[in-house]
Amino acid sequence: MIDSILEKMTLEEQVSLLSGADFWTTVPVERLGVPKIKVTDGPNGARGAGSLVAGVKAACFPVAIALGASWSPALIRQMGTALARQAKSKGAAVLLAPTVNIHRSGLNGRNFECYSEDPMLTGELAVAYIEGVQAEGIAATIKHFVGNESEIERQTISSDIDERTLREIYLPPFEQAVRRAGVMAVMSSYNRLNGTYTSEHHWLLTKVLREEWGFDGIVMSDWFGSHSAAETINAGLDLEMPGPARDRGEKLVAAVREGKVEPATVRAAARRMLLLLERVGAFRKTPDLTERAVDLTEDRALIRRLGAEGAVLLKNDGILPLAKTSLDRIAVIGPNAATARVMGGGSAQIAAHYMVSPLEGIRAALSNANSISHSVGCRHNRLIDVFKGKITVEYFKERGFKGAPLHVETVDKGEFFWFELPSGQLEPADFSARMKMQFVPEESGEHVFGMTNAGLARLFVDGRLTVDGLDGWTRGENYFGTANDEQRGAVMLEAGRTYEVTVEYEPSITNEDGINLIAVRFGVEKPLGDADIEAAVETARNADVALLFVGRDGEWDTEGLDLPNMRLPGRQEELIEKVAAANANTVVVLQTGGPIEMPWLGKVRAVLQMWYPGQELGNAVADVLFGDVEPGGRLPQTFPKALSDNSAITGDLAVYPGKDGHVRYGESVFVGYRHHDTRAVEPLFPFGYGLGYTRFRWSEPRLSASEMSSEGVIVSIDVTNIGDRAGSELVQLYVRSPKAKVERPDKELRAFAKLALQPGETGAAILKILPRDLAYFDAEAGAFRAEAGDYQLIVAANAADIRFVIDLPSPSSYLQPPSY
Ligand code: BGC
């Protein structure tokens, strides 16, 4: 069928398929019955085509690092299925997920959006995710291919990675997704790879992806990440996104006419686009692009379950789980207590159906007898608190706020990130909007207004210009580097008085880099100080237990910028110290998108890492704290004692954050635990670490063979829950290699199993390894090589808790070309 359509297509029609129509849809060819389809982010929900922050509501699932911590392909497969339903509710046929870049530095703004520092764990989970999504007829888009491990200069930087490192660490998740899950789409990354944009990288997109791995789906660019007509298509990039065409369209037609691109190349790319449409069923039934909010009980339950399954208990001296009945007075403290921080920032944001804060979750769990007191203590926000309340927005046809508004609407939050304007008569490049709201301070004193804008904006309080986002506007880091840094203005306000706040917004006049985002975010807050820390300490002092909710939020853990360090922002460390000094029963609940340093660790009784687990956050927290469910998570990323112990933080700025437009992956394959183990750098918490509420006994491992052969070897271990509560245990299998001609990591994860067991129950962890699992990539030979010799299998609970070391000779050597 698609070939007969292709036959009838003109060159222009074929080319039209190779750019988006707009931000989220492809170009139809009505004459031949080729419909348009919609794509949507991804990865922790399906947002739809509306605003990044205020579109149609969607189910908000845990972020990828929380899924990485679950070590549960089965649950992630279920989540994939649920996500496919969500994508359908938004009229989308393609989900822009999963993100499988590797946790390299711990400072990547998108660390939260990636599963792990380990390629094997990442690959397993990505395969499960993709299988779940695609089984429902929705295409998954694995991203960002490849070398996008940081947000610094992300549109241009060259990730300089040697081939061995690529083959062993950064490519395997993509390879698994192609070979095992048949992923239908791949998104190239923004960055260059060894000097060439990945969207123009023939070796990457054609030789490795298609020829070696047999990929037959489409490659699309990251948004505005393709920069040429001939180079991209000749390299193997099918779809330029978003649309309308920038470097394709007429330019690509001309490139064909001039002989720079073969007609067959265009035809092959167009064919792959048609094949995608066929695979998602777009020819069977014309896609209905309407968006609906579908909030299902089963999604709620799965999200809640995943939240607890990814929660990592890092420390517990026995205080957890808390007994609901024996606690009279509970203090719930911290900047993450009453505000639900459910997801990271950037393109992964969605408008969640609802968000349960920890305070709400705890209240719901305890219902009656106990007294719960709350105090915020301090702030940690990077940007001023966003304005919440009724805002009237008037949209005008042109710049300058002239005449009567064309459209008026009311919203409840001071953040606008438009992909579509509310009226078809409004031009994104030439409109203006005036937002009017009232602000009534609760307390008297200095308040700070803040605003960041992609475009030009001014904020007035009672008619006085208070924040100027117009004069002297310069590009900063917000909104993917298209907005200015937050501008602020302080004013003295009186409690109870009504202030009229107005924001005037216009798109910018220039259009640098072709990226013309239209967005503005504004807010107001009363700075917190010593008195607020004191109030929190007082709250803690008067309680039986102090639950301290600290961490970051999606303004820190976000696409568009890396983190400045691995410390808790604001005065949170001080807050922890002071609360712990006032209450000996202090439990810290952390929410970050990656590792942090914990100088206060010795002073608190327990630490629970919750990450950003989606809309059921508070319920999942309460489930774990009160022991209704065990904390099922184990770290997917090493937590170093200090940032300087991290494998990418070598002191050489060329290795991180990069220098002169290049970031050199100089640590090569020694990423995460591969670095800590090999270089004997003791971590704060090792890879795979996490406590539960019960205990297990492991049997001696049994091996299916005493030496490696092409059949592989199966290792089985019986695990018995010898405690009196249900719980789960992670069994990891690493390989340690004899000396090779290259330096190899001390050990490398090759298989794992997570068993959920009732008290007294025994289960078997069955772990299979193949000759390829013994191998490293021999760049000279261009193949995976395992020399003959004495290998060891290491059976462990985490990278630092080794239970058994088994000798495994491999009498023959193996050489496997990448295109096996
Ligand atoms: C991100 C992608 C995302 C795309 C569309 C880009 O900024 O890097 O991950 O899918 O935007 O929102």
Domain CATH number, residue 460: 2.60.120.260
Q: Cα–Cα distance between 275 and 184 in angstroms, integer?
A: 10
My answer on whether 427 and 510 are in the same domain is: yes
Q: Cα–Cα distance between 799 and 743 in angstroms, integer?
A: 19
My answer on whether 398 and 518 are in the same domain is: yes
State the DSSP string of 137-187: T-EEEEEEETT----TTTTT-EEE--HHHIIIIISHHHHHHHHTT--SEEE
User: In this structure, which residue's CA is closest to atom 3 in ligand 1?
Assistant: 347
Q: Cα–Cα distance between 715 and 766 in angstroms, integer?
A: 6
Evaluate: CB of 41 within 6 angstroms of ligand 1.
yes
Nearest atom within ligand 1 for CA of residue 148: 8
User: In this structure, which residue's CA is closest to atom 11 in ligand 1?
Assistant: 223
- Structural domain contains residue 77: no
Residue 87 CA, chain-centre distance (Å), reads 18
User: In this structure, which residue's CA is closest to atom 9 in ligand 1?
Assistant: 347
Q: Cα–Cα distance between 392 and 380 in angstroms, integer?
A: 29
My answer on whether 394 and 415 are in the same domain is: yes
Evaluate: CB of 58 within 6 angstroms of ligand 1.
no
My answer on whether 334 and 396 are in the same domain is: no
pLDDT at 344: 97
For 175, other C-beta atoms within 10 Å of its C-beta total 18
Residue where a domain stops, chosen among 607, 632, 657: 632
Evaluate: CB of 223 within 6 angstroms of ligand 1.
yes
Task: For residue 473, report the distance from its CA to the centre of ligand 1, in Å.
Answer: 25
Q: Residue 741's domain spans which residues?
A: 694-816
Task: For residue 347, report the distance from its CA to the centre of ligand 1, in Å.
Answer: 5
Q: One-letter amino acid identity for 45?
A: G
**CA torsion, ordered 260, 205, 562, 420, to nearest 10 deg:** 70
* Cα-based angle 281, 287, 292 (whole degrees, multiple of 5): 120
Residue 35 CA, chain-centre distance (Å), reads 31
Closest CA to 93 of 102, 103, 83: 83
Task: For residue 338, report the distance from its CA to the centre of ligand 1, in Å.
Answer: 30
* Cα-based angle 364, 370, 371 (whole degrees, multiple of 5): 100
- Structural domain contains residue 51: no
Evaluate: CB of 480 within 6 angstroms of ligand 1.
yes
674-683 pLDDT per residue, tens: 999 999 999 9
**Residues acting as catalytic residues:** 222
Nearest atom within ligand 1 for CA of residue 346: 7
For 143, other C-beta atoms within 10 Å of its C-beta total 25
My answer on whether 359 and 414 are in the same domain is: no
Task: For residue 520, report the distance from its CA to the centre of ligand 1, in Å.
Answer: 19
Domain CATH number, residue 337: 3.40.50.1700
* Cα-based angle 173, 114, 664 (whole degrees, multiple of 5): 75
User: In this structure, which residue's CA is closest to atom 4 in ligand 1?
Assistant: 223
Per residue, the 3-state secondary structure of 286-347, as one string, reads CCCCCCCCCCCHHHHHHHHHHHHHCCEEEEECCCCCCCCCCCCEEEEECCCCCCCCCCCECC
- Structural domain contains residue 762: yes
344: tokens are 């990271």
- Structural domain contains residue 593: yes
Residue where a domain stops, chosen among 632, 653, 684: 632
User: In this structure, which residue's CA is closest to atom 6 in ligand 1?
Assistant: 223
Query: Which residue among 52, 142, 223, 241 has the greatest number of ligand 1 atoms within 8 angstroms of its CB, and so is best to mutate?
Result: 223
pLDDT at 50: 78
pLDDT at 369: 63
Alpha-helical runs (H) found in 547-603: 572-582
My answer on whether 469 and 585 are in the same domain is: no
- Structural domain contains residue 591: yes
736: tokens are 């340690």
100-150 pLDDT per residue, tens: 999 999 999 999 999 999 999 999 999 999 999 999 999 999 999 999 999
Residue where a domain stops, chosen among 472, 507, 525: 525
My answer on whether 368 and 392 are in the same domain is: no
- Structural domain contains residue 214: no
Task: For residue 174, report the distance from its CA to the centre of ligand 1, in Å.
Answer: 17
For 360, other C-beta atoms within 10 Å of its C-beta total 19
Evaluate: CB of 154 within 6 angstroms of ligand 1.
no
Q: Cα–Cα distance between 88 and 81 in angstroms, integer?
A: 11
Task: For residue 524, report the distance from its CA to the centre of ligand 1, in Å.
Answer: 29
Q: How many domains does the chain have?
A: 3
Evaluate: CB of 309 within 6 angstroms of ligand 1.
no
Task: For residue 142, report the distance from its CA to the centre of ligand 1, in Å.
Answer: 11
pTM (predicted TM-score): 0.95
Nearest atom within ligand 1 for CA of residue 347: 12
My answer on whether 473 and 510 are in the same domain is: yes
pLDDT at 420: 82
Closest CA to 43 of 60, 26, 25, 55: 60
- Structural domain contains residue 294: no
Task: For residue 559, report the distance from its CA to the centre of ligand 1, in Å.
Answer: 9
Q: Which residues pair with 784 in a beta bridge?
A: 777, 816
Evaluate: CB of 123 within 6 angstroms of ligand 1.
no
Domain CATH number, residue 797: 2.60.40.10
Query: Which residue among 23, 39, 40, 41 has the greatest number of ligand 1 atoms within 8 angstroms of its CB, and so is best to mutate?
Result: 41
257: tokens are 């006419």
My answer on whether 393 and 508 are in the same domain is: yes
Q: By the 8 A CB rule, do 754 and 71 touch?
A: yes
- Structural domain contains residue 615: yes
My answer on whether 533 and 487 are in the same domain is: no
My answer on whether 362 and 398 are in the same domain is: no
Evaluate: CB of 149 within 6 angstroms of ligand 1.
no
My answer on whether 712 and 787 are in the same domain is: yes
Query: Which residue among 347, 479, 480, 517 has the greatest number of ligand 1 atoms within 8 angstroms of its CB, and so is best to mutate?
Result: 347
What residues in the chain have per-residue pLDDT under 70?
A: 368-369, 510-515
Evaluate: CB of 222 within 6 angstroms of ligand 1.
yes
